[in-house]
Amino acid sequence: MSTLRALVTGGAGFIGSHVADALIADGFQVDVLDDLSRGRRDHVPSAARLHELDIRSPEAHALVRDGGYGVVCHLAAQIDVRVSVKDPVADASRNILGSLNVLEGARAAARPPRVVFSSTGGATYGDFGTPPSHEPDAKDPESPYGIAKLSVEYYLAYYGRVHGMDTVALRYSNVYGPRQDPHGEAGVVAIFCGCALDGRAMTVFGTGEQTRDYVFVGDVAAANVRAARAALPAAERLDRRAYNVGTGVPTSVLELAAATQRVAGVTVPVELAPARPGEQMRSFVAVDKAQRELQWVPQVSLDEGLGITYRWFRAARG
């Protein structure tokens, strides 16, 4: 990239703040765009400049257009599958219209930046295929959240094909780590850490046999840095510039509960509750394409990452 100037939308949030940290460590000058509805001001790196804006606003469009960025890492989003099921219109407003506002701002820039979009590998592929999911696999999302993310990926391909823009989609599996908000499906790690700290029962929805691919947030941040810098083929169709970001290892919710107790050195009850609508049964992703084209591989094992996360939550309580 010819410039080291980057914008991270959602950069006061859980994943976004780690992405901002990683970009700064890699030599980028970083701005953060966040409305602080979910993000926290104290998560924004001290070296970054915060713009407190709604991603859908004209001011956000102008910032992307006029900021002189070489890359925009777009993470600002409505992140909860359950919220999307309850209110798909609100989900689409943030996740589709907000993303279009960013893309239109980038298209209007004197030198359009590369846009690295945070998509989803867990919710995009649906339950009809056999995991691990590869990027070209059929996609049939189970929730409005997954539908919105996939819709934006179609827009990315359109902007690449029609407007010649430089776009990348990173399809995250279930991200966990320090600063995680205990909301949304992936927030189960934060919730389980809280249960371990309090000695409370861990609630598992459904049978607990549903599998997920839990990837540490530091590895996800590293994938964003690689996506910001890598020389890549033309972004002219869906899937070509999409990369799964996970571990390729399925872990059931019951296994996750046991692993959290193991790293915390505690034993608490596990209680089953009714399954939630829109929830997939099986999800994990193949990551060989990211390894090959981004030179990215996950570095942190589940037990290591859970240990780091648990110790962070324990320290945060003082």
Q: CB within 8 A of 77, min separation 6: which ones?
A: 10, 94, 95, 98, 118
Our CA dihedral for 56, 59, 63, 66, rounded to 10 degrees, sits at 120
Q: Are 104 and 60 in contact (CB under 8 A)?
A: no
Q: Which of 145, 159, 172, 214 is catalytic?
A: 145
145 is catalytic: yes
Residue with the two structure tokens 């009809």: 128
DSSP, collapsed to helix, strand or coil, labels residue 237 as coil
Instruction: Say which DSSP state 238 is in.
Output: T
Q: Are 69 and 113 in contact (CB under 8 A)?
A: yes
First vs last C-alpha separation in the chain: 42
Render the burial of 136-145: b for 16+ CB within 10 Å, e for the rest. Answer: ebebebbbbb
Q: Which two tokens stand for residue 265?
A: 């050195």
| Type of residue found at 271 | E
Instruction: Cite the active site residues.
Output: 145
